[in-house]
Amino acid sequence: MCGIAWLFLKNRSLEPELGAMTAGMLAVLTERGPDSAGFAIYRQGAPGVVKISLRAPAGFDFEALAAAHDLPVTVRDDHAVLMVPEPRAAALRAALARHHPEVTIVAAGARMELFKGVGRPADVAKRFGLAGMAGSHAIGHTRMATESAVTIAGAHPFSTGPDQCLVHNGSLSNHNDMRRRLIRENIVFETRNDTEVAAGFLSWKLREGARLDAALHDALDALDGFYTFVVGTETGFGVLRDPVACKPAVMAETDDYVAFGSEYRALADLPGINNAHLFEPAPAKVYFWERRDAGAVH
Amino acid sequence: MNSIRKTAAADALLFDLGAEPLRALNAKLQALSPESNATAWRILNPRGGHAIAVGVTAPVAIRIDGPVGYYCGGMNDGARITIEGNAGPGVAENMMSGIVHVRGDASQAAGATAHGGLLVIEGNAAARCGISMKGVDIVVKGSVGHMSGFMAQSGNLVICGDAGEALGDSLYEANIFLRGAAASLGADCEEKPMTPATLAALAALLRRADCDADPAGFRLYGSARTLYHFHVDNAGAY
């Protein structure tokens, strides 16, 4: 099972509603994934500043950590987003690794913030205050665990690089072999999870200079199993279904947004859905949308 | 034979899925006797819900005002079900008799394992349309996805548009009528000569589906019957 929801706004006047709409979509997908949930949301950034999303055990004092480094922070339950001037990012990562091994860097990027937790999707979204978040696009996932344990680390999305994330519905059968190969390419893994391997594969391809759509094409040959992948980037997102396409996927497009749901149910509350162009993404075909400066979507 | 032209009565009984639970609806519909006077139903706010109007055994007309999720009209035995929107996976799966009419597109496995009745899809059907069908008639006015008619045993699958890869793979004795092109034929599926009797049956089926496509524009595909028995030359493959 598992459920995927993403929403990409073309109409910027809807941006204040992004979090609320995404939270609604995730709650509907509880039946497809009651074990854990997570989301990546692309929000306002500042030039020259990296947002670093962190997770720590309950009770960790993020405010003190931020104060010690003289950095602005937004704390949301057991996650926090630090705003770090780019030149200081590497040093901060090193300091966290040395002094705070209990803190996990969940993601980093100019605009992406990433949160995930164990529990029902509506509860997870509430803990992080998703409904109050504004942004341009968001990707959410509700997980029914199959290939690895129900843990926060096994929850989706997985970050694949700066401002990049991946969610997955399905399971991969060659992830152990692929993980070994990627480890030889210096890709680091934190879990035994199959989706993290797909994320690592894309990270590797991107590091080697591939464009995201080309990396997704390569995934068709390299990854064995069944999957619907959705990847997010700073300016857009991509969709790929495996050639057999067992895992459901429905998309809706209007003048205001492009949206994806594992099922139509997840889209039913979106504004103007009755007049949206509804379609199923074809198997083994890479779909990619990007928002350009002018706000156009391609 | 019934065709999809009959429309539901104007004084249909309303059921609002936004106000009452799905189980209450299905319990009501499944309790209808063949003699019931409640012959016309209109269901509001389906919102992609699963298993709407499944297992109905009375010859009633049911109109669903919007998109439905998984298995709508599953196991239908005699009802005339119209979906005013898209249908999710497995629409009319295991239908026994009656009509399921999808005004929009259908997701994968439309009409799976259905034994009888008529399934009409005005738009496109996704992968595996008519998988393991056992006697149903399916008319798709658009195109179908890959592996459609997989292991289809009997009945007729009519595709007015194109078909995806591996059409009719491991086909038994169902007829597949295709007007457009198939990306590829599946194992053991081959083109057959269209006999006058088959052409007449296709024409009748198109009329029932209110489809004005010219029967002469279709090609017939069926089983080459080479997979019916184990061939010893293939022993090495196991």
Q: Report the CATH number that the domain containing residue A141 is assigned in CATH.
A: 3.60.20.10
Contact A270, A257 (CB under 8 A): yes
For residue range B97-155, list pLDDT tens digits in order.
999 999 999 999 999 999 999 999 999 999 999 999 999 999 999 999 999 999 999 99
Q: Which tokens go with A123?
A: 């509860």
Facing residue for A280 by CB, picked from B47, B48, B126: B126
Is A172 inside any structural domain? yes
Contacts of residue A64, Cβ cutoff 8 Å, sequence gap at least 6: none
- What distance in Å separates the CA atoms of residue A201 and residue A215, rounded to the nearest whole number? 8
Is A95 inside any structural domain? no
**Does the pLDDT at position B183 exceed 60?**
yes
If one counts the domains in chain A, the total is 1
Q: Would residue A2 show up in a list of annotated catalytic residues for this protein? A: yes
Candidates A154, A146, A157; CA nearest to A231 is A157
Is A138 inside any structural domain? yes
Domains and CATH numbers, chain B: 13-237 (2.160.20)
Range of the domain at A153: 3-44+111-290
Question: Among all chains, which residue has been given the structure tokens 């309303």?
Answer: B14
Question: Given an 8 Å threshold on Cβ–Cβ distance, is A265 in contact with B104?
Answer: no
Give chain A positions within 8 Å (CB) of B166.
none
Candidates A51, A44, A1, A6; CA nearest to A24 is A6
Contact B1, B208 (CB under 8 A): yes
A74 CB-side CA count, 13 A:
13
Question: Given an 8 Å threshold on Cβ–Cβ distance, is B48 in contact with A279?
Answer: no
Q: Does the model's pTM come out above 0.90?
A: yes
Is A260 inside any structural domain? yes
- The end-to-end CA distance of chain B, in Å, is 47
Q: How confident is the model at residue B6 (pLDDT cuts 50, 70, 90)?
A: low
pLDDT tens, N- to C-terminus, chain A (298 residues): 799 999 999 999 999 999 999 999 999 999 999 999 999 999 999 999 999 999 999 999 999 999 999 999 999 999 999 999 999 999 999 999 999 999 999 999 999 999 999 999 999 999 999 999 999 999 999 999 877 788 887 788 988 789 999 998 888 999 999 999 999 999 988 888 888 899 999 989 988 988 888 899 999 999 999 899 999 988 888 899 999 998 999 999 999 999 999 999 999 999 999 999 999 999 999 998 877 643 334 3
Nearest CA in chain A to B127: A245
**Does the pLDDT at position B218 exceed 60?**
yes
Give chain B positions within 8 Å (CB) of A265.
47-49, 69
* Range from A104-108, A283-287, B8-12, B159-163 that averages highest in pLDDT: B159-163
Contact B51, B22 (CB under 8 A): yes
- What distance in Å separates the CA atoms of residue A100 and residue B26, rounded to the nearest whole number? 56
Nearest CA in chain A to B90: A248
Is A102 inside any structural domain? no
A245 in contact with B at a CB cutoff of 8 Å? yes
Residue B71 backbone zone (phi > 0: left; psi -120 to 50: alpha; other: beta): left
- What distance in Å separates the CA atoms of residue B168 and residue B164, rounded to the nearest whole number? 10
- What distance in Å separates the CA atoms of residue B194 and residue A127, rounded to the nearest whole number? 64
- What distance in Å separates the CA atoms of residue A29 and residue A2, rounded to the nearest whole number? 8
Is A55 inside any structural domain? no
Q: Which tokens go with B34?
A: 């063949």
